[in-house]
Amino acid sequence: MIKDKFNKLFFPNDNKTQHFKSLDGLRGIAVLLVLLSHSSNTKIFIHKTFDFHAVGKVGVYLFFVLSAYLLDRQIALAFMTKKSSIGYWKNYFLRRFLRIYPLFVIALILHGLLNLAGIKTVIDRIIDIPLHMALLRGESIFWSIPVEFKYYLISPLIMWFCNKFLKWNAVKLFFVFILLILTSIAIEVVFELPLVSTFKYFPIFLIGTMISIYELLFKNYFKNNIEPKLFSITGLIAFALILITIPFYFEKISGFKVNFHSPIFYFPYAFLWGIILLSAKYGKGIIKYVLELKFLRFIGVISFSLYLFHMLVLNYVKQAEIPTQFKFYTFFIISIVFATVSYLIIERPLSKIKIYSNEISEKDIKKRQPTPNKFNC
């Protein structure tokens, strides 16, 4: 009874064919990297050998890849099946707004109120709240929200261009996306765009977008021509490469420091996360098994609330008179409890609001247009 209630609350989409459990777990990995990074930055560890300082952004890159993949997959399906109606777009923008903005504003206000009460937070001036709400500023954890939210507005235009002018031609799509990626990297290197600039992180989002499109165009090839074991092996290699770039371990192994937050690493990180994403969906090895663990999926489900509020808990734990060996566990337990409550009373009710069903079956593609193959590009 309790198990059924828990599953209904946190995993309501498990019976849908379009839902992939492993991607919930992948989102859990992303937020855990952020939490481990921030706790390590304040010298709060499980053990000193597990030092994840300065790796939080790598977790956020995974969020960007996942968001672009999941959203653009649905948008591409809408265009391919001729279902991109006015109702579809009204629902798209409503749901994107409700998914991010209300909880974002609540988190900003809570941080601001606590700061006024004398409890130090990342929002140390009242003027910061409207600037963040206008997506013009991104202090601490809040930097990623304007970046991702603005991509929700840009993404439909990219998909429209792919449909209108490129006609989902695989070769043309490839060259256009590579051109966009290279251009955005060059502009960032030369001009050093602001932290909240979406264009700064375009290479990361575009990898998720490319995977979503090519997966739809060559779905049968993915399923029938590539061994699941190959997906699993490449996924493990990709994950190992990401772990090696964790500064603490990289410095131990190589003996020197590298700035892995440099824009030249945006594309490599996105590419590796893209491989892991495909491994999570099509592999049958340890990565898929781990990502489908209920606890990791649960963390993925509450990840947005966990992301927005964990710094408040961390600041409290850091200053509280708690024995050092218990600080890490206190931080994680309170953060998870707080995020769970936030998910149940804010995120979950808002997720149910819609004015039009965006559920589109991949089977409709076959009915409306031929699936391209390697010769029909």
Separation of alpha carbons 35 and 299, rounded Å: 11
H/E stretch holding 326 reads helix 324-342
- Which residue has tokens 């997506």? 135
In tens, the pLDDT along 110-122 reads 999 999 988 889 8
Token duo for residue 90 = 């009204």
Which residue from 143, 157, 83 is spatially nearest to 108, judged by alpha carbons? 143
- Say what the pLDDT of residue 373 is: 42
pLDDT in tens, 285-319: 899 999 999 999 999 999 999 999 999 999 999 98
Q: Which two tokens stand for residue 270?
A: 């996105």
Q: What is the largest CA-CA distance in the chain?
A: 67
pLDDT in tens, 24-47: 999 999 999 999 999 999 999 998
**What pLDDT does 64 receive?**
98
Instruction: Please state, as a whole number, how many other Cβ atoms lie within 10 Å of the Cβ of residue 246.
Output: 22
The token pair at 259 is 């700035």
What span, in angstroms and rounded, lies between the C-alpha atoms of 140 and 128?
A: 12
- Can you say whether residue 53 is alpha, beta or left, with left for phi > 0 and alpha for psi between -120 and 50 degrees? beta
What tokens were used for 75?
């948008």
CA distance 120 to 207: 37
The residues near 298 (Cβ < 8 Å, ≥ 6 apart) are 10, 28
State the average pLDDT over residues 194-221: 95
Domain boundaries of the chain, sorted by first residue: 20-368
What is the pTM assigned to this prediction?
0.94
Closest CA to 80 of 271, 275, 219: 219
For residue 214, give every residue at least 6 positions away whose Cβ sits within 8 Å of its Cβ, in sequence order, or none.
Answer: 170, 173
Please measure the distance between the N-terminal and C-terminal CA atoms of the chain and give it in whole angstroms. Answer: 52
What does the pLDDT read at residue 220? 83
Name the average pLDDT for the chain: 92
Q: What distance in Å separates the CA atoms of residue 143 and residue 68, rounded to the nearest whole number?
A: 17
Task: Return the minimum-mean-pLDDT range out of 99-108, 138-147, 351-360, 364-373.
Answer: 364-373
Q: What is the CA radius of gyration of the chain?
A: 21
The C-alpha angle 76, 62, 276, rounded to 5 degrees, equals 80
Question: Looking up tokens 């953060």, which residue turns up?
Answer: 335
pLDDT above 90 covers what percent of the chain?
Answer: 83
CB 355 within 8 A of CB 91: yes
Residue 372 has what pLDDT? 43
Q: How far apart are CA 326 and CA 23, in angstroms?
A: 31
Task: Using alpha carbons, select from 342, 350, 372 the residue that is nearest to residue 168.
Answer: 372
Look at residue 323 and tell me whether its pLDDT is greater than 90: yes
CA distance 273 to 275: 5
Residue 333 has pLDDT above 90, yes or no: yes
Q: What gap in Å lies between CA 47 and CA 314, rounded to an integer?
A: 17
Strand, helix or coil for residue 123: coil
Q: Can you tell me the distance from the alpha carbon of 159 to that of 360, in angstroms, rounded to the nearest whole number?
A: 16
